Amino acid sequence: MIKTDVVIIGAGPVGLFAVHQLGIKGLKSEVIDNLDRAGGQCIELYPDKPIYDIAGIPQCTGEELTKNLLEQIKPFKTNFHFNERVQEIKNEGNNWVVKTSQNKVFTSPNIIIAGGVGSFEPRKLSVKDAEKYEGKNIFYSVSDKKKFRDKKISIFGGGDSALDWALELSKVAKVTLIHRRDEFRGAPHTLSEIQKEGKVDIKTKYQLSSIKGDNNIKSIGLKSNDGKEIDIQTDYILSFFGLIMKLGPISEWGLNMDKKTIKVNTENFETNKKGIFAIGDICSYPGKLKLILSGFHEGALASVECFKRARPNEKYRFEFTTSSKDIQARLGIKNK
């Protein structure tokens, strides 16, 4: 059981800055995220796209913003728990007990939900029987490429993952790459390498229409944009249609929801449950803007209430980073 002042769900920009706002008040936080690294939507959806509306930073990419935020919170030596999703929360007196998908247990007076639009999960195939073969003949990521040796593999998608794996696996297996149009969004040099090697059977303007098999997949049906249908022999399907965001268990925690967002009180961004806060894209209130800068503000206000709950016997004092010796000490700044 990990004891902490605040459990933060979500390591996107807003969750990261909340670590900062809590940290300068002397509060420790533990951060949980379903992805394998920090950054949230910034790193998954638009790592290379410039952002122009972070105050004081005329332009930066999602990746740069994440890097800078991580640098900014370095002094607080925060623990991150990646590849874990919060499954369950339970009230115990003044504390919340938080359990993750990896069975880690936290106890804390405060939970800050900075979960964006939910946790990222691979977008799955929707044809009949796709679920039946998932994990057996259908994969949404590659963890062990040995099993594909000398097999017939159908790869779906037009992005970098599809192109990279088509090229890589074509060295050891018979690969068909299927994409719904002629243009690929993945790196052009990977595509030209695939074409140069000439080992991948590229089928464009086709989409998956059916899966045939018994215990294992035997073949798949493809349908072209103009209605032509073909069958190809397949042992494995690899599908790379990016990630989707799923709210997951959050909707079962008894929070006051408005569609996929959580209603909060704008004084401290607390939800209808004492000690549970929601900030960033996932919270809603009149006039809410889904901007990173709004999330920073929301985290700052939530951190004040978190302090009061984590340190009930101490008086909260508002302080500036420019002048507070306490804050500067927490930031590791040595004053002359």
Partner 1 sequence: MPKITYIDSSGNKKTIEVEKGLSVMEGAIQNSIVGIDADCGGGMACATCHVYVKEEWLNKLSKIEPGEQDMIDMAFEPKKNSRLSCQLIVSDELDGLVVTTPSKQV
Q: Is 263 in the site for partner 1 (CB under 8 A)?
A: no
How far is 263 from 265, CA to CA, in rounded Å? 7
Give the binding-site size for partner 1 (rule: CB under 8 A): 24
Residue 326, amino acid: D
How far is 111 from 89, CA to CA, in rounded Å? 9
And the tokens for 293?
A: 């800068």
Nearer to partner 1, 241 or 285 (CB): 241
How far is 53 from 110, CA to CA, in rounded Å? 30
User: What CA–CA distances, in Å, run from 176 to 143, 151, 153, 170, 317?
Assistant: 19, 11, 6, 9, 64
Q: Is 285 in the site for partner 1 (CB under 8 A)?
A: no
Q: Is 75 exposed, middle or buried (0-12, 13-18, 19+ CB in 10 A)?
A: middle
- State which of positions 9-48 bind partner 1 (CB under 8 A): 41, 45-46
Choose the binding region for partner 1 from 141-149, 167-175, 177-185, 309-317 (rule: CB under 8 A). Answer: 177-185
How far is 79 from 29, CA to CA, in rounded Å? 8
Nearer to partner 1, 7 or 178 (CB): 178
Nearer to partner 1, 152 or 179 (CB): 179
Token look-up 């992805």 returns 35
Smallest separation (angstroms) from partner 1 to the CB of 171:
25
Choose the binding region for partner 1 from 14-22, 26-34, 156-164, 301-309 (rule: CB under 8 A). Answer: 156-164
Nearer to partner 1, 260 or 330 (CB): 260
List interacting residues with partner 1 (CB under 8 A): 41, 45-46, 117-118, 123, 126, 157-159, 179-181, 183, 185, 207, 225, 241-242, 244-245, 260, 281, 290
